[in-house]
Amino acid sequence: MNTTLIQRVENAAVAVAIILAMIAYGQPWWLLLAAFLVFDLSALGYLGGSRCGAVTYNLVHNYTGPAIVLSLYIALVLVDYRVTWLSTLAACWAFHVAVDRALGYGLKLEDFTHTHLGRIGRTPADADR
């Protein structure tokens, strides 16, 4: 089994776990779908060129942001201050990253089609078929 397939399966499992957690905690699971495309606004950085676009896209399309937001939520819970929307934001954000990775959309390298999970989209040879 190659590492790309393993990463895609792992991320699909993360996406399913997030859906189940939302349901288990009585949160509106449909928000995962409603907010899904919001995180793709980071691709607007490509208006500033490939390098700028890759940076803005990669800043949003990794698990660091959701982890920081969830950590903030947990820290606030520890001082008895519940801001539930922070956990929902973290779940929506992590769900987006997980689904993107499960579909093969990895962190951007040279341009939008070159990712850490391999090339996405049709190659010129595919276009002739």
Tens digits of per-residue pLDDT, 27-81?
Answer: 999 999 999 999 999 999 999 998 999 999 999 999 999 999 999 999 999 999 9
Which residue type occupies 21?
A
Instruction: Give bridge partners of residue 118 from the DSSP assignment.
Output: 115
Residue 122: which residues within 8 A CB-CB, separation 6 or more?
A: none
Residue 128 lies in a domain: no
> What count of Cα atoms within 13 Å lies in the side-chain half-sphere of residue 96?
27
Is there a domain that residue 123 lies in? no
Query: Which phi and psi (to 5°) does residue 79 adopt?
Result: -105, 20
Any domain includes 129? no
Residue 94 lies in a domain: yes
Residue 129 clears pLDDT 60, i.e. is over it? no
Is 124 among the domain residues?
Answer: no
Query: Does the residue 127 lie in any domain?
Result: no
Half-sphere exposure (CA, 13 Å, Cβ side) for 88? Answer: 16
In a domain, 107, yes or no: yes
**What was the pLDDT predicted at 89?**
97
State how many domains the chain has. Answer: 1
Task: Give mean pLDDT, residues 79-97.
Answer: 96
Q: Is the pLDDT of residue 90 over 50?
A: yes
Range of the domain at 106: 3-116
